[in-house]
């Protein structure tokens, strides 16, 4: 049984706010974090617009839009993710930046939390080395635009556990994605 209830997303840019929107629409509590207040405000605005577009096209009920928005909270510091069960980092595609974020998340998040990277090209094994929980680190590469594209690439590192893989695969499916 999937134990993921709260999903954290680091980075409110195009990929991050798309991941946050899809997760909130799927019934997860979502915490979207970005250190840049303007980016966070813009990301939240884009989520609202994306949900509104679905309502106007008849693909989402207004009540479901309101419920999704009520499940979304934001923060400007990684400490807002201290209770997340799964955190997806969607920061700039630079090894040093991703390693720094993952190392900080490793210190902040509870031991059972899964740390995922939306990387398209960086080794998950290498990223997992920035943490003390390599068995809980996985790639979760969403395709752009996240609310539209069905595929999510789930990538194991050398130490990624089967339990971690299974939980991320189940979360992907709950978000309406094909892992």
Give the list of residues 6+ apart from residue 45 with CB closer than 8 angstroms, or none.
none
Rg (CA), the chain: 15
pLDDT of residue 2: 59
Q: Is the peptide bond before 145 cis (omega within 30 degrees of 0)?
A: yes
pLDDT of residue 82: 97
CA–CA distances in Å: residue 147 to residues 22, 27, 58, 100: 6, 14, 15, 28
- Pair of tokens at residue 138: 């996985």
Average pLDDT, 10 consecutive residues per value, the chain (179 residues): 87 98 98 97 97 97 98 97 98 98 98 97 98 98 97 98 98 97
pLDDT of residue 3: 86
For residue 154, what is the enclosing H or E element?
A: strand 152-156
75/54 Cα distance (integer angstroms) = 25
């Amino acid at each position: 049984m999937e134990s993921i209830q709260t999903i954290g997303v680091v980075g409110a840019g195009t990929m991050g706010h798309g991941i946050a929107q899809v997760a909130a629409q799927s019934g997860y509590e979502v915490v979207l974090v970005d250190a840049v207040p303007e980016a966070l405000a813009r990301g939240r605005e884009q989520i609202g617009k994306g949900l509104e577009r679905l309502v106007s096209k008849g693909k989402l009920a207004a009540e479901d839009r309101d419920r999704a928005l009520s499940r979304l909270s934001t923060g400007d510091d990684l400490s807002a993710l201290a209770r997340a069960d799964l955190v997806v980092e969607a920061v700039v595609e630079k090894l040093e930046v991703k390693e720094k974020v993952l190392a900080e998340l490793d210190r902040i998040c509870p031991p059972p939390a899964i740390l995922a990277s939306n990387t398209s090209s960086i080794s998950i094994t290498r990223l997992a080395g920035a943490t003390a929980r390599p068995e809980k680190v996985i790639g979760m590469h969403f395709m752009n635009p996240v609310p539209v594209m069905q595929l999510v690439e789930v990538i194991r590192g050398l130490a990624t556990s089967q339990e971690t893989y299974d939980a991320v695969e189940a979360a992907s499916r709950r978000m309406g994605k094909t892992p």
